[in-house]
Amino acid sequence: MRLLALSGSLRARSSNSAVLHSALDLVDGPATTADIGALPHFNPDLDGEDATPPAPVATLRAAVAAADALLVVSPEYAHGVPGVLKNALDWLVSSGECVHKPVAVITASPFPTGGDHANAQLRETLRMMTAEIVTAACREIPAIGPKIDPTTERVTDEATLADLRTAMHHLTTAATE
Ligand SMILES: Cc1cc2nc3c(=O)[nH]c(=O)nc-3n(C[C@H](O)[C@H](O)[C@H](O)COP(=O)(O)O)c2cc1C
């Protein structure tokens, strides 16, 4: 079971990246992260039959194609999906690597809402891309701040860790069925 994870935050001390790495710590087997910060802005002129996609795009597509499942962890910005993450997904729409790929969407926020708007929007975009949303593996994590150790940049809250373990179990099970 090869898992590929994407973080919607480029911030060095991102709470969502901490959630992402904590989730990956709980998974058996190879797990990698994709660098989506280096992707160019999506432009259909750079894609399609008569164009060679930019190198970072080809790298992302190969990583997604090689993965058995995707984990997307993201903050919410202005009740929406961070542009950097939507940009990455836009590069994957027509190339098809996400088709029937099991995907978990986790959003974490310092607020009680847990990034619910971004979570719903991400699921809708991925559903349109014909990814297999593993609903039992999706989470909206509220009040994330004190649940993370800033030194280790990992989740330390026991209940959140237990829930992440359950979520990853559902994702990996869906990927191996
Ligand atoms: C421009 C901006 C807009 C934000 N909008 C929201 C929002 O709509 N909902 C929310 O829950 N948090 C919002 N936040 C707060 C983020 O959830 C918070 O900064 C979080 O720590 C960012 O995730 P990260 O730690 O993974 O970088 C916003 C933050 C910024 C900088």
Q: From the CA of 80, how far away is ligand 1's center (Å)?
A: 10
Residues 6+ apart with CB under 8 A from 31: 2, 3, 4, 5, 24
Q: From the CA of 115, how far away is ligand 1's center (Å)?
A: 8
Question: Do the strands 139-141 and 102-108 form a parallel or antiparallel pair, or are they unpaired?
Answer: parallel
pLDDT in tens, 108-164: 999 999 999 999 999 999 999 999 999 999 999 999 999 999 999 999 999 999 999
**For residue 7, which atom of ligand 1 is closest to its CA?**
26
Given CATH 3.40.50.1820, say whether it is the number of domain 3-176. no
Annotated domain spans of the chain: 3-176
pLDDT in tens, 35-71: 999 999 999 999 878 889 999 999 999 999 999 999 9
**For residue 10, which atom of ligand 1 is closest to its CA?**
27
